[in-house]
């Protein structure tokens, strides 16, 4: 089992309190402005991707009042596997705490089998920005490796004070499902979802800004909708991982900026 875990601490800014990792992982602090309250961490890996039988076990604790952004270093490749690869990610975000995570797109190679379970516990006063992007595979390699993977099953649950408020069940088995059908991928090859919740009273202004920006973007189809008065889900279909990653990262950076501003004022 391959593991990493981290726990934040709080002084005048968020600090890294506890960190633990086994190969291939390494966790490094990448906070550019050392005075920022928001702790920015990057997960690095010495492995080219998730290999056969890998089981990633990830635990993150963002303690009360602290704020963390977790970044990835590169696209997450999932290699061919017979038995399948797994990832379990458990996150807890405390009272008045902040967590943002927009990982690079996942690239399942031909023959890849992947199962993921992400469980995120938050409080009423937590802020969470969570995103996932799945590509069709190595589209630009040779003649193109599109949807040649075996299985991708990722379940994400967001639980607020013991109540499940959002669940995403992404199950793609290209041999079973014709992804071109109505309601699936239709004419696209990449998909991304972004969930955001804030203790503020509503998210309408944010949703309008995002919708306006996305309406100018070419080659995508998107929808944004309220999950709660103070939470939205954004879904995008597109044809380029980089484009979706940039769009999500921009939203993430705006929220990271806001939290830095707010914490500085306090």
Partner 1 sequence: MNKITVQPTALGSLIKILHITDPTLPIGGFSHSNGLETYVQQNLVKNASSTQDFVESMLKNNYKFNDGLAVKLAYDFTLKKNLNEILKLDNECNALKAPLEIREGSQKLGIRLIKIYAALLDDPFLNEINKRIEQKKMQGHYSVIFGIVTSILKIDAEKAVCAFLYNAAVGMVTNAVKLVPLGQTDGQHIIHNVEGLIETLTLEILELNRDMLGVCNTALDIKCMQHEYLYSRLYMS
Least separation in angstroms between residue 117's CB and partner 1 is 10
Stretch that binds partner 1, among 67-75, 101-109, 188-196, 242-250 (CB under 8 A): 188-196
Least separation in angstroms between residue 224's CB and partner 1 is 6
Least separation in angstroms between residue 62's CB and partner 1 is 21
Nearer Cβ to partner 1 (51/170):
170
Stretch that binds partner 1, among 58-66, 91-99, 122-130, 187-195 (CB under 8 A): 187-195
Is 62 in contact with 31 (CB distance < 8 Å)?
Answer: no
Stretch that binds partner 1, among 18-26, 57-65, 140-148, 184-192 (CB under 8 A): 184-192
Stretch that binds partner 1, among 64-72, 78-86, 233-241, 250-258 (CB under 8 A): 233-241
Nearer Cβ to partner 1 (15/211):
211
Closest CA to 75 of 119, 134, 32, 34: 134
Q: Enter the tokens of residue 53.
A: 């039988």
Least separation in angstroms between residue 154's CB and partner 1 is 10
Residues 204-223 that bind partner 1 (CB under 8 A): 211, 221-223
Least separation in angstroms between residue 139's CB and partner 1 is 17
Q: Which residues of 244-262 are buried (b: 16+ CB within 10 A; e: fewer)?
A: bbebbeebbeebbebbbee
Does residue 265 belong to the site contacting partner 1 (CB under 8 A)?
no
Strands (E), the chain: 2-10, 14-21, 25-29, 39-45, 55-62, 67-72, 76-78, 85-93, 98-101, 106-108, 113-122, 127-134, 151-160, 163-172, 190-197, 221-228, 231-238
Nearer Cβ to partner 1 (226/264):
226
Cα-based angle 91, 5, 50 (whole degrees, multiple of 5):
95
Least separation in angstroms between residue 200's CB and partner 1 is 18
Q: Enter the tokens of residue 219.
A: 């080659």
Nearer Cβ to partner 1 (71/126):
126
Q: Is 24 exposed, middle or buried (0-12, 13-18, 19+ CB in 10 A)?
A: middle
Instruction: Return the bridge partners of 108, or none.
Output: 78
Q: In a 3-state reduction of DSSP, which class is residue 113?
A: strand
Does residue 167 belong to the site contacting partner 1 (CB under 8 A)?
yes
Q: Enter the tokens of residue 80.
A: 């061919």
Binding residue (CB under 8 A) for partner 1 from 166, 196, 245, 248: 166
Binding site for partner 1 (CB under 8 A): 153, 155, 157-158, 163-171, 177, 181-186, 188, 191, 193, 211, 221-227, 233, 235-237
């Amino acid at each position: 089992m391959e593991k990493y875990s981290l726990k934040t601490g709080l002084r005048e800014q968020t600090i890294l309190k506890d960190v633990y990792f086994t190969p291939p992982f390494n966790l490094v602090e990448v906070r550019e402005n050392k005075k920022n309250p928001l702790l920015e961490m990057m997960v690095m890996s010495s492995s080219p991707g998730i290999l056969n039988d890998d089981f990633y076990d990830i635990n993150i604790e963002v303690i009360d009042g602290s704020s963390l952004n977790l970044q990835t270093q590169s696209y997450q490749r999932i290699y061919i596997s017979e038995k399948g690869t797994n990832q379990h990610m458990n996150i807890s975000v405390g009272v008045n705490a902040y967590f943002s995570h927009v990982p690079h797109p996942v690239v399942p190679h031909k023959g890849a089998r992947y199962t993921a379970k992400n469980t995120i516990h938050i409080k009423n006063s937590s802020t969470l920005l969570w995103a996932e992007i799945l590509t069709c595979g190595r589209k630009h390699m040779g003649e193109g490796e599109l949807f040649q993977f075996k299985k991708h099953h990722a379940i994400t649950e967001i639980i607020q004070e013991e109540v499940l408020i959002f669940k995403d069940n992404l199950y793609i088995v290209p041999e079973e499902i014709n992804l071109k059908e109505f309601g699936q991928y239709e004419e696209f090859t990449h998909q991304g979802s972004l969930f955001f919740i804030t203790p503020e009273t509503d998210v309408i202004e944010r949703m309008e800004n995002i919708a306006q920006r996305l309406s100018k973007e070419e080659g995508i189809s998107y929808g944004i909708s309220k999950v709660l008065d103070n939470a939205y889900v954004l879904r995008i279909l597109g044809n380029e991982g980089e484009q979706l990653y940039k769009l999500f990262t921009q939203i993430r950076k705006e929220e990271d900026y806001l939290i830095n501003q707010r914490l500085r004022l306090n």
